[in-house]
Amino acid sequence: MRLVVFLFGILHAVIAYAEDSPFLAEIPISLSKQESSFADSQTLQLIYRSYDDEASQSLFKELSEGLSANLDSVGLRLVLEKEATMKSQPLERHTKSSFVIDLEEASTQTFLTGFRARQKDTDETLLDQIAAYASSYIESPTYIHSFLIASKVASDKTGDCTEYAVLTTAIARDLGLPSRYLIGLVILEEEGVIKAFGHAWSEVWHKDTWNIVDGALHELDREKIYYLPTSELENEGPGYLMSVMRAVRYFPKKLDKVTLR
Amino acid sequence: MKFYLSIIALLLLSNQALAIDYINATDFPEWFQKSLKTETKIKKKSQLKIDALKVNSKVLGKAKLAESGDGYLYYTIEFGSDSPAECYVLSSFDGRANSLYSILDGATQDIAEAHEKALTGKFNFAQNAGIIGSIPYLSLDLLYHLGEGQEKLTGLLKGYSAQLGDTLQVCVHNEVGNRASFFSIFESFLKALNTQPFEKPFFEIVYQTSVNGIPAGIALESYKKDKDGDVEINYETAVLMPVDAFSMASSDTAAKSWSTPEGDLINANSYSVENAILSFSYSLNYENETWIAEGESQGKEQRFELSHKGPLPSQYGSYFISSDFLKSDAKETNLTMWMPEIDPSSAVTTKLRKISNNKEVNVEFDLGVINMKTQLDKHGVASLVKMQQGPVEIQLHAVHQEGKP
């Protein structure tokens, strides 16, 4: 069975959205009659159709703690607000260096030093500065990489949303702000078309609440994006791939009856 | 089942119908569609002689050694088409997938330079994975555009790669048509080189790997015994995964381990190359009653002491465990192995469960967040592996098997 295990690296491609259209990351979506534009809407309702009942049950348990979720015979019904985050409190591990967010490595330190130098010269909010710096740091956006750790992204300056998210998580932790690596979906409006993609971003604990920091989509209008966090990368050790696999398992077959309110 | 596998192998050998085309040819001008259907009847053969590899065989077309250097031989093969096939024999390479993609990628740049035009577009056109005889191969065709406007040129660069022992054979052909003819040239070239006296394994199996229906790669295992009866195990995978219309992720992995005849692991080495860069490399050894994993992940050196004490089953041993499980009345059993691709720092336990009333699969492998369903024979050998992980469906179909564990 190890031969299959060798192939797990492929699955990262499901979580890949970064302002382009990757093959595996796009999620089929069907809309109800649209009553308002993304920018005018306050909430987004949808039915989350999983690949199997077990994934629906597990996801419902996770989401019901933070989001408005209801599991019935039709499926997993969700109501998303703008900037939706998972609600659990920060933990000690959200402040520490890890195998994935390896703050002590030389290349990561060089990257962080660059952020500190830039921080002095701008009027942006701190969280915007984090996203903007990560966004500008990646010189070669591409979907070809598997999940890269912070020191590798810092040295190679390449990747997609999974790589932007390790950078934003690293900056926040270096500043002493608890931060966690989130995997889930984004539902967004682009030139009047609504699409959904697998995605990764950071949540940063700032001013007594979790805040979304998204380096990959920093240039997009946040009013036109709904975030649906489905899984945190809880295992940031050498076995981090198990956490990535867990997140991929939760990814839906389809988002149905998407309605803006 | 064996008959069915033979049919698959024949299909892969005799035509390219299973290849995936990403771009609909009818979207292209008539000349392109017409060229795409062009084939050449190859009449001539020539002698291919490579002393270092003990090769002296006839190949289709007129093969000529055009260049050689440290770690490579470069041949052109004229076969009556507008442009010759170009074939490399590489003794230093990254793997079937990485080297094929690197050569194709570099060749598109060379073609642009030769035409003194900018490379203005490059698209994944088609790909396939299969076997020639028992040798697994990958194929990839890239569509390219040079220049803009009235001066714009469109071309198709086709490529194949296959490994024989310690050499990799890569052939490319820069022409829209002659897809089947070029395959014949590659097949002939590969067979000519397959005369080296490789040590025959007592068991080998080759799988075609598909991801959401795309024939993305190959996977193979082989088992040889040394004079003491210990078993040398080799696994290799090669995958080309299209991640968008323009880009291809390439991944090659290889692992070599030794097992006792009883199926206990002695030591193991494993590495992976992704997009031409070493992704990880680990070895596992048993020292002072402790399993020590050492190596690097993404350029970072690592050393782990596994918490698991005592013997670990090898891949060879895992066949015995699976086989015994199938013969037993037990509904489930555990299999604990070191799988550095998942976690180099610990041994990972997989739960095996019997599946009843299903003609396609009979055993489930459950790693907690990952679930695979397989069809195992009485020796524990899988002819089919299926995994649905969210929107990704991976399937492995055995396309060649010789011997048994």
In this predicted structure, the answer to whether residue A121 has a pLDDT above a threshold of 80 is no
- Report the C-alpha gap between B247 and B249 in whole angstroms: 7
Per CB-CB distance under 8 Å, the chain B contacts of A5 are 339, 341-342
Q: Can you tell me the mean pLDDT for A164-188?
A: 96
What is the distance between the alpha carbons of residues B63 and B84, in angstroms, rounded to a whole number? 9
Model pLDDT, residue B12: 30
Q: Using a CB-CB distance cutoff of 8 angstroms, which residues of chain A are in contact with residue B127?
A: none
| Residue contact B391–A14, C-beta within 8 A | yes
pLDDT at A15: 60
pLDDT tens digits along B116-141? 999 999 999 999 999 999 999 999 99
Of A3, A198, A241, the CB nearest to B237: A3
DSSP collapsed to 3 states, B156-213: EEEEEEEEECCEEEEEEEECCCCHHHHHHHHHHHHHHHCCCCCCCCCEEEEEEEEECC
pLDDT of amino acid A251? 87
Residue B118: per-residue pLDDT: 95
The pLDDT confidence band at residue B37, using thresholds 50, 70 and 90, is very high
At position A103, the amino acid (one-letter code) is L
Is there a contact between A88 and A65 (Cβ–Cβ < 8 Å)? yes
CA distance A236 to A170: 12
Neighbours of B75 (CB within 10 A): 22
Nearest by CB to residue A248, choosing from B298, B350, B392, is: B392
What pTM value is reported for the model?
0.90
pLDDT value at residue A35: 58
pLDDT surpassing 50 at residue A223: yes
| pLDDT score, position A25 | 77
Contact A3 B385 (CB under 8 A): yes
pLDDT tens by residue, B227-237: 999 999 999 99
Mean pLDDT of chain A: 87
Could you tell me what percent of chain B has a pLDDT over 90?
82
pLDDT at B2: 26
CA distance B82 to chain A (A): 34
Q: Which of B228, B248, B230 is nearest to B238 (CA)?
A: B248
State the count of interchain CB pairs (< 8 A) between A and B.
159
What phi and psi, each to the nearest 5 degrees, are found at residue B41?
Answer: -80, 115
- ipTM, two decimals: 0.86
Q: State residue A250's pLDDT score.
A: 86
Q: Decide if B341 and A5 are in contact by the 8 Å CB cutoff.
A: yes
> Over the stretch B191-222, which tens digit does the pLDDT of each residue have?
999 986 678 899 999 999 998 889 999 999 99
pLDDT of residue B3: 26
Nearest to B346 among A21, A52, A239 (CB): A239
Residue B99 contacts residue B170 (beta carbons within 8 Å): yes
Chain B residues within an 8 Å CB radius of A250: 390
**A56 pLDDT above the threshold of 90:** no
Specify the pLDDT at position B251. 93
The pLDDT value given to residue A145: 84
A163 three-class SS: helix
B residues 367-386 near A, CB within 8 Å?
A: 367-370, 372, 374, 382, 385
**B274 contacts A145? CB cut-off 8 A:** yes
- Per-residue pLDDT band at A34 (split at 50, 70, 90): low
Choose among B217, B242, B251: nearest Cβ to A23.
Answer: B242
Q: What residues form DSSP beta bridges with B400?
A: B206
Q: What is the pLDDT of residue B9?
A: 28
Chain B nearest-CA residue for A241: B342
Cβ-nearest to A10 among B239, B248, B342: B239
Question: Is the pLDDT confidence value at A174 over 70?
Answer: yes
Q: Tell me the per-residue pLDDT of B272-302, one tens digit each, with 9 for 90 and over.
A: 999 999 999 999 999 999 999 999 999 999 9
Instruction: Give residue A102's pLDDT.
Output: 98
Distance, in Å, from the CA atom of B19 to the CA atom of B92, rounded to the nearest integer, reads: 28
**Res. B321 pLDDT band, cuts 50 70 90:** very high
| pLDDT over 50 (residue B6) | no
Which positions ≥6 away from A35 have C-beta within 8 Å?
A259, A260, A261
Helix axes A126-137, A106-119, angle to 10 degrees: 130
Tokens, residue A196: 């959904």
Pairing verdict, β A158-159 and A140-141: parallel
pLDDT value of residue A64: 77
Complete DSSP assignment for B10-28: HHHHH--TTSEESS-GGGS
Residues of chain A with C-beta less than 8 angstroms from the C-beta of B396: 3-4
Residue A122 reports pLDDT greater than 80: no
